């Protein structure tokens, strides 16, 4: 007898369960995705002991009749695809037909369901233990499906002992529930842990209009993460060309099949809003939460100098793309996806983030001046203090020094600038600012109608000088280049060599003289004046990494940005440098004209606000 044999069905299901069911959160994920595919508008999830003893998912979706309920327990039985071609354009969350039988093979599972077209109103209940059907009976049930999973991995002690503490497993389940709730604001979610309600999220009103979608996501973000986060609306669309096929003959031009439109929308943190981890960074492709390093790098590139080193953006972004342009069938748990034109998708994501951040400050506000009534004397506390209060708006100075009245606290918000939707933050530099003084010989104290504003004079001057120097150097169209006395050859691995061969034009714009000198060898004969490379091979490898991270359309001075940032840091106004009131006013005016005025080139904030509500809390006026 041969040594190769066909495995029993129960063993095959348990092997499949090892790929699909990693932990209790995997069970919740598969069952919730089935509920979403069934067009449920309300989903309730109950767990006990971190999902070890009980996972119950109930929905009000379309439900199943008895035949379908029995058939769904078979491997690769699904209603979502029919032919192999359907795999090339998947529009549902699930499609393999493996989840239900895999879960049933490693637990005690009960499935109860009822369809809306069942005139008798009689549902079906099926009990399955370790993949074997124990009972099939009629049962009362509302329209929809309820799946109970008890004693997960009870028949696989080796798997069960690797489960973490109940609190750890609960946190993984809650993380997925957060993603599912953000991706589907129109669906109500209830999450109960050990018979205690964690949250109950009602459905958000939502239609196909962009404003409605953004409003619904903002409402759901506020419910899950709190309302104190300053978030900007993103809504951008772009196209890229799709090739029919790559011709075998290199002499034949590429044939194009048309264009694909990619829409990127959602919310991103305003300048200065960041976290030390990616925990609040949520990316969705066609409503599917995904992990993709390339998109993470595109997001970081979009922020660029608006983030401090070691900080990560806060975002909830949705990428809508033709399902045929993305492959979701590359990971057992469908956590990762692969784009057919990844560079184009990445470029469009970076572009959407950059445009939103630039538009945040470039919107023109309605001029608002605060009336001046009575004079008030402000005594200087030090030579660096400004002995007056002065309006720093876009209009003329309303009063002479020493004759300005402090702004009374006003809790009515300013009208939003043109084109800005309700709920989005108003840029600090778009409201009138009144100069109060300087503290610590560094921090400029200003007053707005919302409260107290502090500006770091060094960081603000850094940003002004940085953008002035970039504009001056970019006006030449390309970075300067200086020939090396002794050219050097650099040999690279095949992958890096292929990438470098296709980026020669970009390298020339950056001022790097790099040419092919063999199959995987390159000749380095020129560098920008501000770049010092002691180790040529290390420099080229770092160059490849930075270009891959930056993507297409890289700034012509990208290699010199660090040097420019260090240069302006040395020349900017320092702490203890006393500035006159005219100089401070010019600094604020120059900052208003910057493209990204809210952070210095290193990502540190230039200006922050403490509103009256925060002040009243600190002084105990309100609780």
pLDDT at 109 over 90: yes
Residue (of 433, 466, 459, 460) closest to 447 by Cα position: 433
Question: Band of the pLDDT at 577, cuts 50, 70, 90?
Answer: confident
CATH code of 522's domain? 3.30.1370.100
pLDDT at 589 over 50: yes
Same domain, 346 and 373: no
Q: Are 55 and 24 in contact, with CB atoms under 8 Å apart?
A: yes
Cα–Cα distance, 343 to 551 (Å, whole number): 7
Residue (of 356, 270, 284) closest to 313 by Cα position: 270
Amino acid 117: pLDDT: 86
Same domain, 467 and 483: no
Same domain, 504 and 590: no
Q: How many structural domains compose the chain?
A: 4
Neighbours of 518 (CB within 10 A): 10
Please check whether residue 144 lies inside any domain of the structure.
yes
Per-residue exposure over 414-451, b if at least 16 CB sit within 10 Å of its own CB, e if not? bebbeebeeebbbbbbbbbbbbbbbeebbbbbbbbbbb
Please check whether residue 161 lies inside any domain of the structure.
yes
Domain boundary (521, 555, 589) is at 555
Amino acid 456: pLDDT: 94
pLDDT at 108 over 70: yes
Cα–Cα distance, 329 to 346 (Å, whole number): 20
Same domain, 99 and 248: no
User: At 331, is the secondary structure helix, strand, or coil?
Assistant: coil
Q: Compute CA 531 distance to the chain's CA centroid, rounded to the nearest angstrom.
A: 33
- Counted residue by residue, the chain has a size of 623
Question: Band of the pLDDT at 557, cuts 50, 70, 90?
Answer: low
Please check whether residue 86 lies inside any domain of the structure.
yes
Q: What is the pLDDT of residues 317-341, one digit of tens each?
A: 999 999 889 988 787 777 788 898 8
What average pLDDT does range 435-461 have in this prediction?
91
DSSP 599: B
Tokens of 538: 């290390």
Give the chain's mean pLDDT: 81
What DSSP element (H or E) covers 590?
A: helix 581-592
Please check whether residue 3 lies inside any domain of the structure.
no
Amino acid 473: pLDDT: 67
Same domain, 432 and 473: yes
Question: Band of the pLDDT at 24, cuts 50, 70, 90?
Answer: very high
Least confident of 96-110, 398-412, 563-577: 398-412
Task: Compute the half-sphere exposure of residue 270: CA atoms within 13 Å on the CB side of its CA.
Answer: 18
Least confident of 86-90, 317-321, 359-363, 391-395: 391-395
Please check whether residue 309 lies inside any domain of the structure.
yes
Amino acid 307: pLDDT: 86
Which parts of 492-563 are beta strand (E)? Answer: 513-516, 521-527
Q: To the nearest whole percent, how much of the chain has pLDDT over 70?
A: 82
Amino acid 9: pLDDT: 75
Residue with tokens 């109960």: 192
Same domain, 179 and 247: no
CA dihedral 353, 358, 364, 369 (to 10 degrees): 110
Please check whether residue 560 lies inside any domain of the structure.
no
- Write the Ramachandran bin of 418: left for phi over 0, alpha for psi from -120 to 50, otherwise beta: beta
What average pLDDT does range 422-437 have in this prediction?
79
Same domain, 72 and 172: yes
Cα–Cα distance, 168 to 495 (Å, whole number): 40
Residue (of 290, 415, 287, 299) closest to 347 by Cα position: 299
Range of the domain at 291: 210-362
Please check whether residue 562 lies inside any domain of the structure.
no
pLDDT at 429 over 50: yes
Tokens of 321: 């793309």
DSSP per position, 338-364: EETTHHHHHHHHHHHHHHHHHHHHHSP
Question: 288 forms bridges with which residues in the sheet?
Answer: 285
pLDDT winner (highest mean) among 173-187, 239-253, 565-579, 607-621: 173-187
Cα–Cα distance, 270 to 268 (Å, whole number): 6
Same domain, 143 and 239: no
Same domain, 420 and 547: no
pLDDT at 352 over 50: yes
Least confident of 18-22, 215-219, 515-519: 18-22
Q: What is the pLDDT of residues 255-285, one digit of tens each?
A: 666 789 999 999 999 888 889 999 899 999 9
Domain boundary (155, 172, 201) is at 201
Cα–Cα distance, 578 to 91 (Å, whole number): 62
Q: Are 75 and 13 in contact, with CB atoms under 8 Å apart?
A: yes
Please check whether residue 371 lies inside any domain of the structure.
yes
Q: Compute φ and ψ for 124, nearest 5 degrees.
A: -125, 135
Domain boundary (144, 166, 201) is at 201
CATH code of 120's domain? 3.30.565.10
Question: Band of the pLDDT at 286, cuts 50, 70, 90?
Answer: very high
Amino acid 249: pLDDT: 57
Same domain, 281 and 346: yes
Same domain, 59 and 146: yes
Same domain, 599 and 619: yes
CATH code of 405's domain? 3.30.1540.20
pLDDT at 470 over 90: no
Alpha helices in 475-532 (DSSP H): 494-501, 504-509
Q: Apex CA 420: angle with CA 417 and CA 425, to 5°?
A: 85
Question: Band of the pLDDT at 421, cuts 50, 70, 90?
Answer: very low
């Amino acid at each position: 007898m041969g040594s190769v044999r066909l495995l029993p069905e129960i063993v095959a299901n348990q092997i499949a369960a090892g790929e699909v069911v990693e932990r209790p959160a995997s069970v919740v994920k598969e069952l919730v995705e089935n509920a979403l595919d069934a067009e449920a508008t309300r989903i309730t999830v109950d767990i006990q002991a971190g999902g070890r003893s009980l996972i119950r998912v109930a929905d009000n979706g379309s439900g199943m009749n008895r035949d379908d309920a029995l058939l769904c327990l078979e491997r690769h039985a699904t209603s979502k695809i029919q032919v192999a071609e359907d795999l090339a354009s998947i529009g549902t969350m699930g499609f393999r037909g493996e989840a239900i039988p895999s879960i049933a093979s490693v637990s005690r599972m009960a499935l109860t369901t009822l369809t809306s077209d069942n005139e008798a109103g009689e549902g079906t209940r099926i009990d399955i233990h370790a993949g074997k059907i124990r009972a099939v009976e009629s049962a009362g049930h509302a329209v929809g499906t309820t799946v109970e999973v008890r004693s997960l991995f009870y028949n696989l002690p080796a798997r069960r002992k690797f489960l973490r503490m109940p609190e750890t497993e609960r946190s993984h389940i809650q993380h997925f529930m957060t993603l599912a709730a953000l991706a589907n604001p129109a669906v109500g979610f209830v999450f109960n842990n050990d018979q205690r309600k964690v949250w109950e999220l009602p459905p958000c009103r939502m239609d196909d209009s962009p404003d409605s979608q953004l409003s619904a996501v903002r409402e759901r973000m506020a419910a899950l993460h709190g309302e104190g986060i300053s978030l900007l609306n993103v809504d951008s669309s772009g196209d890229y060309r799709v090739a029919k096929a790559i011709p075998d003959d290199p002499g034949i031009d590429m044939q194009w099949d048309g264009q694909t439109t990619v829409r990127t929308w959602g919310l991103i943190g305003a300048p200065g809003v960041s976290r030390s981890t990616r925990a609040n960074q949520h990316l969705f492709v066609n409503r599917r939460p995904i992990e993709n390093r390339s998109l993470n790098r595109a997001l970081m590139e979009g922020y660029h100098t608006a983030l401090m080193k070691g900080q990560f953006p806060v975002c909830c972004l949705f990428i809508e793309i033709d399902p045929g342009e993305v492959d979701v069938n590359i990971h057992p748990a469908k956590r990762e996806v692969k784009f057919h034109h990844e560079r184009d998708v990445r470029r469009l994501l970076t572009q959407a983030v950059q445009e939103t951040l630039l538009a945040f400050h470039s919107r023109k506000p309605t001029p608002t001046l605060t009336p001046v009534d009575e004079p008030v004397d402000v005594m200087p506390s030090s030579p660096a203090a400004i002995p007056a209060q002065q309006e720093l708006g876009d209009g003329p100075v309303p009063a002479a020094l020493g004759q300005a009245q402090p702004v009374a606290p006003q809790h009515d918000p300013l009208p939003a600038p043109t084109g800005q939707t309700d709920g989005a933050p108003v840029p600090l530099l778009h409201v009138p600012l009144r100069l109060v003084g300087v503290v610590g010989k560094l921090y400029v104290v200003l007053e707005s109608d919302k409260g107290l504003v502090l500006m770091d004079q060094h960081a603000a001057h850094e940003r002004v000088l940085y953008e002035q120097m970039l504009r001056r150097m970019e006006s030449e169209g390309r970075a300067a280049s200086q020939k090396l006395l002794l050219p050097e050859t650099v040999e690279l691995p095949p992958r890096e060599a292929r990438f470098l061969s296709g980026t020669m034009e970009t390298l020339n714009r950056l001022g790097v003289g790099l040419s092919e000198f063999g199959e995987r060898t390159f000749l380095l004969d020129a560098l920008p004046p501000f770049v010092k490379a002691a180790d040529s091979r290390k420099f080229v490898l770092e160059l490849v990494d930075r270009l891959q991270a930056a993507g297409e359309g890289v700034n012509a001075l990208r290699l010199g940005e660090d040097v420019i940032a260090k240069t302006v840091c040395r020349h900017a106004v320092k702490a203890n440098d006393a500035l006159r009131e005219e100089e401070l006013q010019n600094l604020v005016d120059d900052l208003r004209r910057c493209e990204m005025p809210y952070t210095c080139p290193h990502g540190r904030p230039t200006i922050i606000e403490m509103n009256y509500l925060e002040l009243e809390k600190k002084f105990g006026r309100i609780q």
